[in-house]
A and B are shown apart, each in its own frame.
Chain A
Amino acid sequence: MGTKVNLISGRTIVQGQNLDNKLSEKYFDEVATCEMSKEDLERLGVAAGDSAARVKVRTSFGEVVVKAKENAGTPAGIAFIPMGPWANAVVSGETHGAGMPSYKGIDAEVEKTEEEVLRVKELMQTYKE
């Protein structure tokens, strides 16, 4: 059973350092993640310090598997995925007449999963199909 969250995306310093290095492991490790509060992760059954845990994030616009990561600065009910291909697999392209997609404030459902996280190349391949 998943938990409902408000999904936002944004920059991180390691994401910025690897802006021109997106096919690297460093970028994958940083950006294919979902930061949540301790209490939300516990509700999903993710044990504290479980660095291998993965979650599936599902919205009306798609679903994506990312690594789960605890962040004390993220309030309960908010899920943060660094800006990049994984966040963008589930955000909305609706621009509300302003040209700007909806990168923040997306209703999402998160659940623990055993599925693997797709690599950049695999994720891009899904768009060709």
Chain B
Amino acid sequence: MGEVTDVVCSLCGCVCDDIVVEVEDNEVKKVKKGACAVGKSKLMGHGRIKSPAVRERKGEGESGELRECSYDEAIKKAAEILAAARRPLLYGWSSTVCEADKVGVELAEEIGAVIDNTASVCHGPSVLAIQDVGLPSCTLGEVKNRADLVIYWGANPAAAHANHMKRYSFISKGFWTAEGKKAKKLVVVDVRKTATAKMADVFLQIEQGKDYLVFSALRALLYGYEDVVPDEVGGVSKEELLEVVKMMKEAKFGMTFFGMGVTHTGGRHNNIVNAIQMTRAAHTHTKFSIMPMRGHYNVAGINQVCTWETGFPFAVDLSRGYPWYNPGELSATDLLIRRECDAALIIASDPGAHFPGESVRHLAKIPVIQIDPFPNPTTEFADVVIPAAVSGVEAEGNVYRMDNIPIRLRKLVETEYLADEEIVERILQEVRAIKEKEGKEGE
């Protein structure tokens, strides 16, 4: 196959689409251009789940061992678990393609499940804030071509979105920003002096959990109420705040990107409401836009799919026969902590690693079906393990970048692993067959 150009990265929300790789003997041999260290690591691959497997338990309370089996057996077992569950949870959906997500919503509807995605532990609060006050946003292309002031707030792209600054923001060169970073300013707001903070023209090192106060102070200053702002807010001096406000007012096009530093902390969606209101305050002076730094490459996509299928982006309960949305009650974390769900399908995510221990404790005790290309902490307690093709390397499909631009992932090599879409579709068909059989027996 040789050199493949315009390869799309399936790691983070940047979804870089200008990568060049070398493919030989049905294997990605080298990433030649375009990918960051994290994306390169994804494209080159890691150790895989070798075979479908089911956990054999000899006695009550035994954790048991995984026994390798066929796809048919694992899919049948998965369907039996889901069809028998009274309160099933279908969780994940961000590191796979929209086509698989669509079938996932159909499965949730069929079995009356709660379907949730990784937004609930990432930018769920941003979604709530956007539902509250809207979002004056733009595409990453507009940021590249127009922005002369970039603010990263509670985000460390140098570690989490390593190509973001180079492709879209501070370091990129665009139509009206041809000089690149020479003609741009960078402001970073964070608790720690991160690698991103070290590059900043102005670094506001705020006290942990004080984001809301600092947003409020900047709003007041942007509206001209200097007299109401005290000498220090959240560990930041008034002089520093005034300096940032001056930069905001003087910018031709300002852009705020915010990360989990804002969503994970006290105040949650209220912080983001305030960040959006700060953007509105800046509109009294100049053009300003704001965007969440979405984490997984298709977390924006599952929010899209879930919204167009059910009306809601995450934490949707389909047990009533119609969609019901209440994140503080129906997020995967809330369901698990209340020990409410009695079975879970985990796809393209790893709650074993990324959920609070309190919720993992319940997940480890109920029947869990895992669909993933790679072994991870969730595998350690999964009862049915179904290996999948790696989307963007072994399977194609549509994903949404962090600015909600759809991009199609490419297939680079052939594989015997099934794609997520086919696995979920086959589970759905098995569930329907079980229900049909039960229906006939009940007649």
Contact = CB atoms under 8 A, between A and B. Distances in A.
B333 interface: yes
A16 to B, nearest CB: 4
A49 interface: no
B340 to A, nearest CB: 13
Nearest to A13: B159
Contacts of A51: none
B375 interface: yes
Interface in B178-194: 191-194
Contacts, number: 191
A88 B360 contact: yes
A89 B377 CA distance: 13
A124 interface: yes
B329 to A, nearest CB: 8
Interface residues of A, number: 53
A90 B357 contact: yes
B71 interface: no
Contacts of A78: 191-192, 208
A99 B330 contact: yes
Interface stretch (B140-148, B263-271, B408-416): B263-271
B357 A102 contact: no
Interface in A63-86: 71-75, 78, 80, 83-85
B46 A100 contact: no
B128 A98 contact: yes
A13 B357 CA distance: 23
B380 A121 contact: yes
B46 A61 contact: no
Interface in B333-366: 333-334, 336-337, 350, 352-361, 363-365
Interface string B1-19: 0000000000110000000
Given A88-B353, A88-B354, A99 B331 contact: yes
21 contacts: A11-B160, A19-B11, A20-B42, A20-B373, A21-B41, A62-B357, A73-B194, A85-B377, A89-B357, A93-B358, A95-B327, A98-B124, A99-B330, A99-B333, A100-B125, A101-B359, A104-B260, A105-B265, A124-B377, A127-B363, A128-B63
Interface of A: 6, 8-13, 15-24, 61-62, 71-75, 78, 80, 83-85, 88-93, 95-105, 120-121, 123-125, 127-128
